[in-house]
Structure 1
Amino acid sequence: MEVAIITGGSRGIGAATAVELAHRDKKVLISFRERRRHAEEVLQRIRDLGGEGDLFIGDISKPEVARGLVERATTLGELTVVVNCAGVYHPRSLPSLSPSLIEDMVATNLLGPLLVMHEALQVMRRGVIVNISSVVGLSPSPGMSVYSVTKNALALATKLVAEEAGDVRIVCVAPGPTDTEMLRRYHPYMPADPPEKVAERIMWVIDNGVSGKCYTVP
Structure 2
Amino acid sequence: MEVAIVTGGSRGIGAATAVELAHRDKKVLISFRERRRHAEEVLQRIRDLGGEGDLFIGDISKPEVARGLVERATTLGELTVVVNCAGVYHPRSLPSLSPSLIEDMVATNLLGPLLVMHEALQVMRRGVIVNISSVVGLSPSPGMSVYSVTKNALALATKLVAEEAGDVRIVCVAPGPTDTEMLRRYHPYMPADPPEKVAERIMWVIDNGVSGKCYTVP
The answer to whether TM tops 0.5 is yes
* Runs of 4+ more than 2 Å apart: none
CA distance in 1, matches of 2:104, 2:42: 25
In 2, distance between residues paired with 1:63 and 1:158? 19
CA RMSD of aligned residues (A): 0.1
SS in 1 for 2:30: strand
Q: Please give the alpha-carbon distance, in whole angstroms, between the structure 2 residues aligned to 1:207 and 1:89.
A: 29
Q: SS of the counterpart of 2:164?
A: coil
* CA apart distance, 1:93: 0.1
Structure 2 Cα separation of the partners of residues 33 and 203 of structure 1: 24
Task: State the Cα distance separating 1:2 from its structure 2 match.
Answer: 0.1
- Structure 1 position 198, deviation (Å): 0.1
Structure 1 runs not aligned, ≥5 long: none
The aligned counterpart of 1:58 is 58
Distance 1:176 1:161 in 2: 24
How far off its partner does 1:95 sit? 0.2
Q: In structure 1, what is the equivalent of residue 200 of structure 2?
A: 200
CA distance in 2, matches of 1:52, 1:206: 19
Q: Distance between the aligned counterparts of 2:24 and 2:100, measured in 1?
A: 39
Q: In 1, distance between residues paired with 2:167 and 2:192?
A: 35
Q: CA deviation at 1:54?
A: 0.0
Whole-angstrom distance in 1 between the partners of 2:17 and 2:99: 32
What residue in structure 2 maps to residue 83 of structure 1? 83
Deviation at 1:204, TM superposition (A): 0.1
Distance 1:162 1:101 in 2: 30
Deviation at 1:67, TM superposition (A): 0.0
Shift of 1:33: 0.1
Alpha-carbon separation, structure 2, partners of 1:22 and 1:97: 38
* Residues in 1 aligned to 2:195 and 2:85: alpha-carbon distance in whole angstroms: 11
Secondary structure class of the residue paired with 1:212: coil
Distance 2:91 2:217 in 1: 21
* Cα distance in 1, alignment partners of residues 182 and 213 from structure 2: 26
Secondary structure at 1:54 match in 2: strand
Superimposed CA distance per residue, residues 161-208 of structure 1 (whole angstroms, 9 cap, x where no aligned partner): 000000000000000000000000000000000000000000000000
Q: How far has the Cα of 1:47 moved from its partner?
A: 0.1
Q: Alpha-carbon deviations, 1:31-81, whole Å to 9, x = none?
A: 000000000000000000000000000000000000000000000000000
State how far apart, in whole Å, the 2-side matches of 1:73 and 1:161 are: 21
**Structure 2: distance between partners of 1:166 and 1:34:** 34
State the partner residue of 2:165: 165
Counterparts of 1:169 and 1:83, CA distance in 2? 12
Q: Which residue of 2 aligns with 1:4?
A: 4
Question: TM-score, normalised to structure 2's length?
Answer: 1.00
Q: Could you tell me how far apart the structure 1 residues matched to 2:45 and 2:93 are? A: 38
Output the CA distance in 1 between the equivalents of 2:209 and 2:143: 36
Gaps of 5+ in 2: none
Shift of 1:97: 0.2
In 2, Cα distance between the equivalents of 1:90 and 1:179? 16
Q: For 2:101 and 2:139, how far apart are their aligned partners in 1?
A: 22
Structure 2 distance, partners of 1:91, 1:28, is 31
TM alignment of 1:20-99, pairs within 5 A = 20-99=20-99
Count of matched residue positions in the alignment of Structure 1 and Structure 2? 218
Distance 1:138 1:91 in 2: 16
Q: CA deviation at 1:128?
A: 0.0
Distance in 2 of aligned mates of 1:91 and 1:24: 35
Partner of 1:115: 115
CA–CA separation in structure 1 for the residues paired with 2:141 and 2:178: 16
Question: Percent identity among equivalent residues?
Answer: 100
Taking the aligned partners of 1:31 and 1:163, their CA distance within structure 2 comes to 26
